[in-house]
């Protein structure tokens, strides 16, 4: 009983909405038919309250929330509310063009924002990774249902077509409507089942992405056909060539431009939500461009979303805020309005009901069969092909958007629109249980298991989640070495780098921009030494440089607000007499995130851009030492060289005290973790265990007796009246004859000073 109550509790929004409907009907009952702001707000409140309430219920029973939002519109429309109380329904949702246009305007903006969101969720890296298999599967999964839909359009009664003389356009539209899938719905269900990273899950989502993309291109061309009224070869050629040119420019010059605009807004504008403003402007401009070339604005919004989603500095906060606005406001309004436009009462006509059932069957069989054949031809097993076909059959939000466009441009009649919306609801509600049944218990290969373990580790890792490093340097040799180090890390994943020059202003002015350009060149040269990996990003980084224009602390604080997740410091003087140099302390005081301090020593003073790095990394089993190990592995993987791992078990270590009787299990476990980390990235390491020694003495001796030239240490900031990482890090930094890289957690107070 309690479970039932918790499930239905969100339905409390529904009677509340109906009460509001009654009040609004009474308030507006005797007023004129002119446009009313009161009615507009009432309509929006009803659609949001009903849509979100029913959407919550749908999610709790394993269905997408969009179904609840559609049902809200259907319940408030002529299908139920208009049937039970037609006067009140006509009062709240009048057919007056002026009043209807107000809500339609919001819905049209909602379409663009929904396509922006869909594009942001489209992972082109996944498509490139899956490659030819997904493309082949997608083509087969589109051709079969497209042919079925086109044939259905050719045999539809004239009464169902708004313009029987344009049957070709309607048939093409029906073919596209039946062949497309809802990537959003598919991705949600696959993600809920934890199959997003499984091979079959990636193929399902990648195929849905390709389906969506091809579908929107076809819809754009059909829109041009509908606008002309006839099959004009010249107009079609213009639309097709214009679309291809738009896509080519968008994914070459446009990709770079979008990244630079978002970065510029994030780094230079101080107003609230500046990046979101730029994203919305980009969406609008690209929608206008597609309209200008004769295709629908939705294609521009969709491509804008893809480019925004691929921007390497789209922070999670920005993404969540934009997604929240669209999901909580525009989605329930748009899908609710689509439900309002669907009059299910027409299905009381046996002929229409039979045609609707036929449409559902043709759509399901065509898409399911095409996807199954494509999966089989593409090399999937029978069970994987069944899962693929089950997932591809969901039309969901995409189908409703397409149907709404078709209704607005006169390709679909009101009855045909209702039939398509019904088909979208039925196929979408059938997909989750079918896909869950097909995916349940699907066996996993050894290679897939190893990949998933590596990706799960990276999900919790430090280096794998870096997005925007900041490099603070002066004109010293140490700065050049620091630039080389961060260039290697950035080159692995194509991270954008910002170089902030914090050196002496007079010296910088004397040298002009030569030093800035040289640091940029060092970063890029280091990045280019990284072997190109599968996604094509490695070895290519975007570098911008800025000179300090304020006091050091203020300059760092100003940069910190821009969302950098790692600050790498390379300046001439690192340590003073008994503490860090004052500049280092000023920098650390103003940057609360992870901090990396570079100290070039030994041969790196003469060769700050070495061909190889021979790295020593001490480990202790703590989280921060694992971070240091991650950085060391990344540096070794990025360039050539060697990696040594040392663990020092002291008398303070209880595991070491019991080592003789327990076989050094704890120490062996820590070294094994380091070995496993290196193995995940195909990095060979040498491990060393030292027992009953002071850690700093053991580390310094390892430096003296081996050929290492860089020590990487993960360190915690400790509670003290000055910047300190503890006695071990301080001793290694001061006494080491080779370069040192300290990587801190960015959090102060985790380690008491007396225990450091």
Question: What CATH code is carried by the domain that includes residue 421?
Answer: 1.20.1530.20
Query: Is a pLDDT exceeding 70 seen at residue 29?
Result: no
Claim to verify: residue 585 and residue 633 sit in the same structural domain: no
Pick the closest to residue 369 from 388, 383, 396 (CA basis): 388
> For the sheet containing 566-570, what is the strand order?
543-547, 497-501, 469-473, 566-570, 595-599, 739-751, 710-718, 612-619, 640-649, 685-691
207 and 106 in one domain? yes
Query: Quick one: tokens of 561?
Result: 């607000």
- pLDDT at residue 692, as a whole number: 67
pLDDT in tens, 173-224: 888 888 877 766 676 667 656 676 677 777 777 777 677 777 777 776 777 6
* Mean pLDDT, rounded, for 378-404: 79
Say if 151 falls within a structural domain: yes
Parallel, antiparallel, or unpaired: how do β-strands 497-501 and 469-473 relate? parallel
Domain that holds residue 214: 96-439
Task: Show the CA angle centred on residue 360, arms to residues 355 and 364, nearest 5°.
Answer: 145
The DSSP element (H or E) to which 469 belongs, if any, is: strand 469-473
Which carries the bigger pLDDT value, residue 633 or residue 437? Answer: 633
* CA 754 – CA 220 distance, rounded (Å): 68
Distances (CA, A) of 562 to 275, 314, 497, 584, 591: 11, 11, 13, 20, 11
DSSP 521-587: HHHHHHHHTSPP-TTS-TT---EEEEE--S-HHHHHHHHHTT--SEEEEE-S--B-SSSB-HHHHHH
Residue whose entry in the numeric block shows the structure tokens 């050719």: 154
Through-space distance between the first and last CA atoms of the chain, rounded to whole angstroms: 56
The pLDDT-based confidence of 737 (bands split at 50, 70, 90) is very high
Asked if 554 and 624 sit in the same domain, the reply is no
Determine the pLDDT at residue 662.
43
Q: Residues 726-747: what's their mean pLDDT?
A: 88
Encode pLDDT of 556-581 as tens digits.
888 888 888 899 999 988 887 778 88
Counting residues of the chain whose pLDDT is more than 90, the rounded percentage is: 9
Q: Tens of pLDDT along 281-314?
A: 999 999 899 888 777 777 788 889 888 888 776 6
Rounded-to-integer distance, Cα 286 and Cα 289, Å:
5
Same domain for 422 and 473: no
pLDDT for the residue numbered 396: 66
Q: Rg of the chain over CA atoms, in angstroms?
A: 31
Q: Is residue 326 part of a domain?
A: yes
Residue 670 lies in a domain: yes
Q: Would 37 be classed as within a structural domain? A: no
Residues 481-491, mean pLDDT to the nearest whole number: 88
Tokens in use for 492?
A: 């692995």
The yes-or-no verdict on residue 497 having pLDDT over 60 is yes
Based on the fold, state whether residues 630 and 567 are members of the same structural domain: no
Does residue 134 belong to any structural domain of this protein?
A: yes
Asked whether residue 2 is domain-assigned, the answer is no
Q: What is the mean pLDDT of residues 649-657?
A: 51
pLDDT of residue 713: 93
Domain containing 559 — which CATH number?
3.40.50.620
pLDDT at res. 515: 46
Q: What's the confidence (pLDDT) of residue 753?
A: 34
- pLDDT at position 2: 44
* Closest to 723 (Cα-Cα) out of 621, 629, 552, 590: 590
Do 277 and 202 fall within a single domain? yes
Residue 741, pLDDT above cutoff 90: yes
Q: What is the mean predicted confidence (pLDDT) over 5-23?
A: 49
Q: How many domains, the chain? A: 3
Integer CA distances (angstroms), 368 to 137, 379, 490, in order: 12, 17, 43
Q: What are phi and psi of 559, to 5 degrees?
A: -75, -35
Cβ–Cβ contacts within 10 Å for residue 294, how many?
20
Phi-psi region of 621 (alpha: psi -120 to 50; beta: other; left: phi over 0): left
Residue 743's H or E segment, with its range, is strand 739-751
Question: Who has greater pLDDT, 280 or 428?
Answer: 280
In a domain, 644, yes or no: yes
Please indicate, yes or no, whether residues 318 and 348 belong to a single structural domain of this protein: yes
Q: Which two tokens mark 375?
A: 């999966």
Q: What are phi and psi of 372, to 5 degrees?
A: -65, -45
Q: What DSSP letter does each residue of 40-81 carry, written as one string? A: HHHHHHHHHHHHHHHHHHHHHTT--HHHHHHHHHHHHSTTTH
pTM of the model: 0.69
- Alpha carbon 276 to chain centroid distance? 15
Read off the pLDDT band of 700 (50, 70, 90): very high
Beta bridge partners of 744: 715
Q: How far is 219 from 239, CA to CA, in rounded Å?
A: 11
In this prediction, residue 617 carries a pLDDT of: 92
pLDDT score, position 406:
81
- Which one of 380, 404, 439 terminates a domain? 439
Question: In terms of domains, do 465 and 582 share one?
Answer: yes
Domain presence at residue 339: yes
Least confident of 78-82, 344-348, 745-749: 745-749
Quick count: other Cβ atoms within 10 Å of Cβ 377?
14
Over residues 387-396, the mean pLDDT reads 79
The predicted structure's pLDDT at residue 534: 35
Same domain, 627 and 730: yes
Q: Residues 244-255: what's their mean pLDDT? A: 89
* Same domain flag for 472 and 556: yes
Among the listed residues 380, 393, 374, 369, the one whose alpha carbon sits nearest the alpha carbon of residue 136: 374
pLDDT tens per residue across span 392-425: 887 766 777 778 878 887 888 888 888 888 888 8
Q: What is the mean pLDDT of the chain?
A: 78
pLDDT at position 441 over 80: no
Residues 656 and 572 reside in one and the same domain: no
SS3 (DSSP) at 269: coil
Instruction: Check residue 283 and give its pLDDT.
Output: 92
What is the average pLDDT across 320-346? Answer: 81
The helix or strand, by DSSP H or E, that contains position 417, with its residue range, turns out to be helix 414-439
- Given a cut of 50, whether residue 468 has pLDDT beyond it is yes
CB 209 within 8 A of CB 127: yes
Output the pLDDT for position 601: 93
Burial per residue of 381-396, b for 16 or more beta-carbon CB atoms within 10 angstroms, e otherwise: eeebbbbbbbbbbbbb
Of 660, 650, 655, 635, the closest CA to residue 710 belongs to 635
Alpha carbon distance 193, 506 (integer Å): 60
Within this chain, do residues 272 and 369 fall inside the same structural domain, yes or no?
yes
Where a domain ends, among 383, 405, 439? 439
Length of the chain: 756
Residue among 490, 497, 472 nearest 482 (CA): 472
Q: What is the pLDDT of residue 5?
A: 40
């Amino acid at each position: 009983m309690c479970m039932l109550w918790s499930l239905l509790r969100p339905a409390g929004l529904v009677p509340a909405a109906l009460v509001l409907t009654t009040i609004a009907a009474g308030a507006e009952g005797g007023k004129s038919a002119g446009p009313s702001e009161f009615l507009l707000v009432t309509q929006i409140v009803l659609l949001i309250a009903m849509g979100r309430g029913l959407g919550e219920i749908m999610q709790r029973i394993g269905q997408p929330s969009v179904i609840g939002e559609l049902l809200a519109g259907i319940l408030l429309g002529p299908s139920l509310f208009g049937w039970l109380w037609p006067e009140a329904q006509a009062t709240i949702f009048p057919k007056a063009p002026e009043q209807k246009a107000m809500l339609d305007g919001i819905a049209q903006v909602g379409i663009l924002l929904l396509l922006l969101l869909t594009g942001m969720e489209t992972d082109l890296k996944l498509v490139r990774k899956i490659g030819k298999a997904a493309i082949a599967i997608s083509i087969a999964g589109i051709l079969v249902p497209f042919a079925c839909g086109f044939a259905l359009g050719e045999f539809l009664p004239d009464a169902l077509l708004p313009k029987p003389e344009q049957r070709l356009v309607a048939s093409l539209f029906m073919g596209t409507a039946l062949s497309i899938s809802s990537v959003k719905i598919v991705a949600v269900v696959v993600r809920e089942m934890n199959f997003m990273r499984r091979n079959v899950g990636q193929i399902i989502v990648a195929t849905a992405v390709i389906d969506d993309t091809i579908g929107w291109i076809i819809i754009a061309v059909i829109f041009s056909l509908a606008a002309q009224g006839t099959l004009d070869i010249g107009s079609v050629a213009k639309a097709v060539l214009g679309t291809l040119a738009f896509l080519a420019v968008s994914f070459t010059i446009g990709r770079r431009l979008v990244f630079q605009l978002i970065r510029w807004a994030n780094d230079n504008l101080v107003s609230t939500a500046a990046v979101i403003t730029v994203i919305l402007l980009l969406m609008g401009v690209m929608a206008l461009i597609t309209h200008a070339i004769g295709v629908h604005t939705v294609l521009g919004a969709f491509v804008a979303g893809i480019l925004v989603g691929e921007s390497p500095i789209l922070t999670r906060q920005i993404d969540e805020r934009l997604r929240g606005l669209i999901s909580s406001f525009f989605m329930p309004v748009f899908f609710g309005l689509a439900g309002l436009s669907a009059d299910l009462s027409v299905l009381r006509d046996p002929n229409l009901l039979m045609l609707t059932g036929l449409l559902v069957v043709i759509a399901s069989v065509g898409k399911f069969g095409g996807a199954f054949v494509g999966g089989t031809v593409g090399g999937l097993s029978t069970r994987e092909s069944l899962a693929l076909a089950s997932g591809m059959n969901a039309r969901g939000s995409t189908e409703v958007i397409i149907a709404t466009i078709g209704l607005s441009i006169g390709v679909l009649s009101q009855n045909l629109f209702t039939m398509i919306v019904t088909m979208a609801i039925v196929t979408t509600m059938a997909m989750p249980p079918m896909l869950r049944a097909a995916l349940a218990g699907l066996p996993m290969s050894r290679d897939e298991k190893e990949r998933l373990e590596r990706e799960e580790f990276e999900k919790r890792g430090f280096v794998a989640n870096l997005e925007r490093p900041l490099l603070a340097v002066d004109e010293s040799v140490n700065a050049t070495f620091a630039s080389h180090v961060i260039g290697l890390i950035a080159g692995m994943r194509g991270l954008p780098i910002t170089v902030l020059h914090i050196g002496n202003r007079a010296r910088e002015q004397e040298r002009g921009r030569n030093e800035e350009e040289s640091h940029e060149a060092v970063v890029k040269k280091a990045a280019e030494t990284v072997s190109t990996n599968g996604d094509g990003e490695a070895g290519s980084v975007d570098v911008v440089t800025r000179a300090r224009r304020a006091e050091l602390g203020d300059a760092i604080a100003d940069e910190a607000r821009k969302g950098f997740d790692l600050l790498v410091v390379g300046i001439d003087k690192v340590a003073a007499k008994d503490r860090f140099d004052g500049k280092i302390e000023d920098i650390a005081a103003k940057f609360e995130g992870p901090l990396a301090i570079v100290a070039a020593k030994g041969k790196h003073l003469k060769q700050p851009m070495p061909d190889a790095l021979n790295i020593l990394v001490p480990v202790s089993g703590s989280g921060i030492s694992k971070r240091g190990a991650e950085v060391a592995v990344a540096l070794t993987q990025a360039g050539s060289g060697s990696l040594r791992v040392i663990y020092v078990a002291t008398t303070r270590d209880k595991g070491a005290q019991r080592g003789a009787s327990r076989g050094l299990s704890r120490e062996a476990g820590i070294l094994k973790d380091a070995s496993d980390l290196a193995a995940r990235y195909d990095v060979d390491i040498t491990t060393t265990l030292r027992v009953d020694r002071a850690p700093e003495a053991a580390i310094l001796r390892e430096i003296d007796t081996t050929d290492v030239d860089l020590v990487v240490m993960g360190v915690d900031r400790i509670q003290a009246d000055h910047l300190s990482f503890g006695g071990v890090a301080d001793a290694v930094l001061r006494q080491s004859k080779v370069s040192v890289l300290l990587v801190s957690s960015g959090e102060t107070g985790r380690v008491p000073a007396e225990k450091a």
